[in-house]
Amino acid sequence: MEKELLITEFDLDRLESLLDMCWHRSGFDEKNLELLQKKISNCIVVPPEFIPNNIITMNSTFTVENEVTNEKKTYTLVFPEDADIKGNKISILAPIGVAILGHKVGEFIEWVAPSGLKKMKFIQIHYQPETCGQFNL
């Protein structure tokens, strides 16, 4: 049984619009689009002001720990136009981006990277827009 994940109404609307746009353009990995579509269709949708402060939403900044190496990294989950690997900004359309959305501190996520299966644990959220009253960021 899959975990029930939360998503805000605002993030859901923007992600559905993004998917609609991407399906009609070339250059996007259809597998990732399908994964994101499946994920958001199975999430529990809540008003942004009611999302718990330990949930990864769009534009959240968080730290994860690699299960194998114990290396810690801090990332921000962003829309594709804001992605910047050097700035540790992960696109929602990347496999890790899809895997991250809706999870909370203390949980493990898994995704398939070009180098194989990866597993990380969320250890801290440094910034979540909704916690700061930014319900439309």
pLDDT at 46: 95
CATH of 6-132, one of 3.40.630.10, 3.30.450.20, 3.10.50.30, 3.30.930.10: 3.10.50.30
**SS3 assignment, position 2:** coil
Structure-token pair, residue 77: 């989950």
For the chain, the structural domain boundaries read: 6-132
Which is it for strands 89-91 and 72-78: parallel, antiparallel or unpaired? parallel
Per-residue pLDDT at 1: 41
pLDDT in single tens digits along all 137 residues of the chain: 456 789 999 999 999 999 999 887 777 788 889 999 999 999 999 999 999 999 999 999 999 999 889 999 999 999 999 999 999 999 999 989 999 999 999 999 988 887 888 899 999 999 999 988 877 76
pTM recorded for the entire structure:
0.90
| Three-class HEC string of the chain | CCCCCEEEHHHHHHHHHHHHHHHCCCCCCHHHHHHHHHHHHCCEEECHHHCCCCECCCCCEEEEEECCCCCEEEEEEECHHHCEHHHCEEECCCHHHHHHCCCECCCEEEEEECCEEEEEEEEEEEECHHHHCCCCC
pLDDT of residue 112: 84
